[in-house]
Amino acid sequence: MKIIVSAGGTGGHLYPALALVEYIKTQDKEAEFLFVGTTDRLESQVVPQLGYAYRGLAVKGLVGNPIQKLKNALIFIKSLKKSKQILKEFQPDIVIGFGGYPSASIVMGASQLKIPTMIHEQNSIIGLTNKVLIKKVNKIVCCYEKAYNEFPSNKTVLLGNPRASVVAHQELKNIHDLYHIPASRQTVVIVMGSLGSSSVNRVMKEALRQMQYDDYDVIYVTGKNYYEDMQKELGDLQDSIHLVPYIDDMPSLISSCDVIVSRAGATTLAEITALGAAAIIIPSPYVVANHQEYNAMELVRAKAARMILEKDLNADAFVSEIRHLLKDQTLLQSLKAHACQLGKPHACEDIYQEILKTLERK
């Protein structure tokens, strides 16, 4: 099987794509892959380093003033022409788009050449690229009921995020061992993404000062850019507060902490539900179409998480919420159970089977 995968711009698009490709390799040793993305974003660096064939497209979104939109439209037309050249050279059996502007070019080109196509939507709010492609593709895979209800029912399946399969089956470490915390101590992990959040950090400076005297440990991920500043201000806190700039094994912490506090990116929530963690979600208000709040609402409605909007975030309310959760074991276990019910640990396997079905109908 020959597969073109397109995932452009962000890790939220790229890492689910990589997870699916890695799974397919275990099922089809002869499978060939070609990644198509941007020429200058995350995937253009990560994918070649992993040893996959890669082609970059110069493409931009249709945003800006009328003149800029026109320029970007002309760039898209050129990228569509290049996409067709790539398709004719590689001759894939199927093209799968995970979002981002390059997906529009390569998936649309495949559709015009009558090559089977699939798109994956990670968020509850349908991304602009996938909106454009709805009528062009053979199959749509989504992760949330909200998106599922907005896509055409005759070609949409609710199978989840491939990252859920990765964390559900990987070997996980224990937070108590990693940070030398007594096994009897409850733990809270607070992380606002790999880069951190300056606005949340401001609140957490006061919150952590209150939490240092409580009977639990806190792992606070400051973000690389803010670590030195937070260390200078909070370096005198009790040993129960652990400041770290970045964590490269979030699944282990999610799986073994008592409460995870995080943003509502698609990959993060896929991991939280796959691992059945109790979560407090603080959606980022700085994302397109406010999609993180909608993602978080899917968990809140299912009683699988609590949510605090950033505009309502303050130290006293936050600390009170943490204390309430840690003392209420019934609520804590209920959140975990409902998160498990939303989890899709077999996402990769299910999506792979859908690929095979799509090719059978070719």
Q: Is 122 annotated as a binding residue?
A: no
| 65 marked ligand binding residue | no
Annotated ligand binding at 10? The verdict is yes
Residues 175-197: pLDDT tens digits? 999 999 999 999 999 999 878 89
Burial 106-139 (b: 16+ CB within 10 A, else e): bbbbbbeeebbbbbbbbbbbbbbbbebbbebbbb
**Token pair in block for residue 180:** 């030398």
Q: Give the confidence band of 61 by pLDDT, cuts at 50, 70, 90.
A: low
Q: Which of 46-60, 167-181, 343-357 has the lowest mean pLDDT?
A: 46-60
pLDDT of residue 307: 98
User: pLDDT (tens digit, 9 = 90+) per residue, 67-126?
Assistant: 676 776 787 888 899 999 999 999 999 999 998 888 999 999 999 999 999 999 999 999
For residue 48, what is the enclosing H or E element? helix 42-49
- Could you tell me the CA-to-CA distances from 279 to 17, 30, 187 in Å, in that order? 25, 40, 12
140 is in an annotated binding site: no
Q: Is 194 annotated as a binding residue?
A: yes
The residue type of 312 is D
> Please, is 102 exposed, middle or buried when counting C-beta atoms within 10 Å of its C-beta (0-12, 13-18, 19+)?
buried
Distance of alpha carbon 339 from alpha carbon 331, whole angstroms: 12
Structure tokens at 307: 């949510």
Mean pLDDT (the chain, rounded): 93
270: helix, strand or coil:
helix
Q: Is the pLDDT of residue 302 over 70?
A: yes
